[in-house]
Amino acid sequence: MRVTEHGLDAHISLAAAGDSVSATFAVCDAEGRAIWYGPFIDADADHPRGDQLAATMGAAGRAIWLAGRAREDTGVDKVTLHLAVSEEGLDAITLACTASMAGLALDLIVTEDNPALDWCQAFGRLDWSSGPLPDLVDPEAPPKVPVLRSIAGGMDQQTEPQERLVMQELAPDTSTELRSALEDLLLHDAVGMDATMRHAVAAVVHLVVDTPHGPPEDAEEFLGRLDASWLVAAWLGHDTELSLIATLAAGEIPALSWCELMFTTTLAPWSASPVAVHARRVFGTVQRGPLGAVRAQVG
């Protein structure tokens, strides 16, 4: 592995494709060799059922799982998965969260040059090796390839210009009162609320207020940020926050959805609660960031 000032980092390059007509998938390595292909089984949760996007999502999910296994086998903490697919319109948020939970930063590349497409038509099946998978991990970053669209993640985004680093350092100091006021909206009278939900409220407020792009300008923008897609786009490259988002958006009653409902009603313009009035006023006292940047990302 290559040692840098940021510690150990490594890369995995894979290509994935699915075919909804034949209900098959394929995953190839950086050289275009098939390492896992064959038909979806009827009982598989990711069976496409005739949906092409679902077939590609299923194949991409299996590639992410395989890369996660390779990362574990190698024992490297920081791994970026460069995953080539050929379908536009994939649920990139779900894929990014899945990768984050596997300890990976996802670089999703949409390209027509995808060797996995041909393997979807191959007869039979090839199961991935049940042994260690360290050969998939490359200590060097792969050369840049022409792409139609790329969702960048991983360590590279954390070494951007100094202006962004300064924003990250300032946000916790200048937003303390805002975070406190927003937490109080749900917690000040929360008799009987368990510790798990209290931590969830604090985590949601942190994710929405402390983005690298600065705090929300007003209550309306704060409420607009209570969306998993928006939050993942804002926190790409930050593994801890991405894991938090994935956790808060999961479960039978997702904590993120519960917080959205509660904040929407308590911050509504007609709410005359003293803590709500204070929270709405305190938005005007925090330092502004380049909010247009994150809006462009999400759009």
Q: What is the pLDDT of residues 8-22, one digit of tens each?
A: 468 889 999 999 999
Calculate the average pLDDT of the chain: 74
pLDDT of 140: 56
153 or 129: which leads in pLDDT: 129
| Strands (DSSP E) found in the chain | 2-4, 7-19, 24-28, 34-39, 78-85, 104-110, 137-138, 149-151
- Find, among 237, 79, 175, 297, the residue nearest to 245 by Cα: 237
Helices (H) and strands (E) in the chain, counts: 12, 8
What's the whole-model pTM score? 0.51
Q: How far apart are CA 202 and CA 206, in angstroms?
A: 6
pLDDT of 163: 35
Q: Is the pLDDT of residue 168 over 80?
A: no
163 or 47: which leads in pLDDT: 47
Q: Is the pLDDT of residue 43 over 50?
A: yes
Q: Is the pLDDT of residue 6 over 60?
A: no
Residues 127-131 have a mean pLDDT of 63
Q: How far apart are CA 35 and CA 67, in angstroms?
A: 12
- Residue 9 main-chain phi, psi, to 5 deg: -140, 155
Name the one residue in this structure whose structure tokens are 């980092």: 9
Distance of CA 154 to the CA centre of its chain: 10
254 or 132: which leads in pLDDT: 254
Q: How far apart are CA 83 and CA 14, in angstroms?
A: 5
